[in-house]
């Protein structure tokens, strides 16, 4: 697959300043967030913390009440079309056309992005190969499982080779094989210089894949950093005598401690 044009190294892939969105109550409350180019960033938080609302505003699916969103240096609120050209959005409920085959769907999406057929065809073939969809490339999507539908949706999101990939719970409900394929493609994209921003309730995935992790609660970022930095913020270290060395807390322990501390302080 031909690689996308790299971003200018000193740019952030995502910059959020003072982001606000309220429904019956504040869902996102003056959120600041910065994600570096080429970074795998996991956004964690309890249900109702504002994760999905944040991602939907980044993707241009929801208008914020206030704040600034820049994607690859582009003001996503002033020029949403330009911002969407450099990013991809994949939700936890894959939205694809049931009457199309995966091959037809990728050709359709490539056409929407005005990708020349001579580029779109090999790109689609490689994506289908990476996601173990080639044996089903000419079957209608209407009979696919959720895992297969999610892989088709991911392939469609990647066909224009975005620089920033935004995923909301992409592994929910997937079997082990489908989850492995999705994780493999995301790792490959990050290795090629792409930026991935993902929410997940599967903490082991964040622990294994993310370069940095942000913890959000009540619409605000309450902690951020590498796993080790989060452990330090949470003050979670096991008794060294237990193993003869400092035994690091799991991300689950750390996450629960950070959220509990925030709730106690609220």
For residue 140, how many other CB atoms are within 10 A of its CB?
15
Comparing CA positions, the residue from 71, 67, 72 lying closest to residue 30 is 67
Q: What are the tokens at 261? A: 């501390």
The token duo for 22 is: 């309220």
| 3-state SS, residue 13 | strand
pLDDT at 181: 86
Strands 40-44 and 195-199: parallel
State the pTM of this model: 0.85
Q: Angle 146-158/102-112 helices, nearest 10 degrees?
A: 30
Beta strands in the chain (DSSP E): 12-22, 26-36, 40-44, 66-71, 74-75, 87-90, 164-168, 195-199, 212-217, 220-225
Strand partners, 44: 215
CA atoms of 116 and 128, how far apart (whole Å): 18
pLDDT score at 172: 79
List the one residue out of 190, 131, 125 whose CA is nearest residue 164: 190
What was the pLDDT predicted at 3? 43
- Reference 198, options 185, 184, 214, 217; nearest CA is 214
Give the separation between CA 30 and CA 16, rounded to whole angstroms: 9
Residue 10: what pLDDT?
55
Give the separation between CA 173 and CA 154, rounded to whole angstroms.
15
Average pLDDT along the chain, 266 residues, taken 10 residues at a time? 44 93 93 94 92 94 96 94 93 88 94 90 91 94 90 92 92 83 89 93 88 93 90 64 50 85 69
Q: Which of 218, 186, 196 is nearest to 53 (CA)?
A: 218
Antiparallel, parallel or unpaired: β 220-225 and 87-90: unpaired
């Amino acid at each position: 697959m031909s690689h996308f044009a790299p971003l200018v190294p000193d740019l952030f892939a995502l910059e959020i300043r003072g982001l606000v969105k309220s429904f019956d109550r504040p869902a996102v409350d003056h959120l600041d967030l910065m994600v570096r180019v080429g970074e795998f960033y996991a956004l964690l938080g309890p249900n109702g913390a504002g994760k999905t609302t944040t991602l939907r505003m980044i993707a241009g699916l929801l208008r914020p009440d206030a704040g600034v969103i820049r994607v690859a240096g582009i003001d996503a609120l002033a020029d949403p079309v330009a911002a969407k050209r450099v990013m991809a959005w994949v939700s936890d409920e894959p939205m694809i056309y049931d009457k199309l085959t995966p091959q037809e769907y990728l050709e359709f999406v490539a056409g929407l992005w005005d990708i020349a057929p001579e580029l779109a065809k090999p790109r689609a073939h490689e994506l289908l190969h990476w996601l173990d969809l080639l044996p089903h490339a000419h079957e209608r999507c209407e009979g696919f499982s959720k895992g297969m539908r999610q892989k088709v949706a991911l392939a469609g999101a990647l066909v224009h080779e975005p620089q920033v990939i935004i995923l909301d719970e992409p592994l929910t409900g997937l079997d082990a094989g489908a989850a492995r394929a999705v994780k493999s493609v995301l790792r490959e994209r990050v290795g090629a210089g792409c930026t991935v921003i993902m929410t997940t309730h599967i903490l082991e995935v964040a622990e294994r894949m993310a370069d940095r992790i942000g913890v959000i609660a009540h619409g605000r970022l309450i902690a951020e950093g590498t796993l080790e930095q989060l452990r330090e913020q949470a003050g979670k270290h096991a008794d060294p005598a237990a193993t003869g060395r400092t035994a690091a807390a799991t991300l689950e322990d750390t996450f629960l401690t950070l959220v509990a501390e925030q709730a106690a302080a609220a």
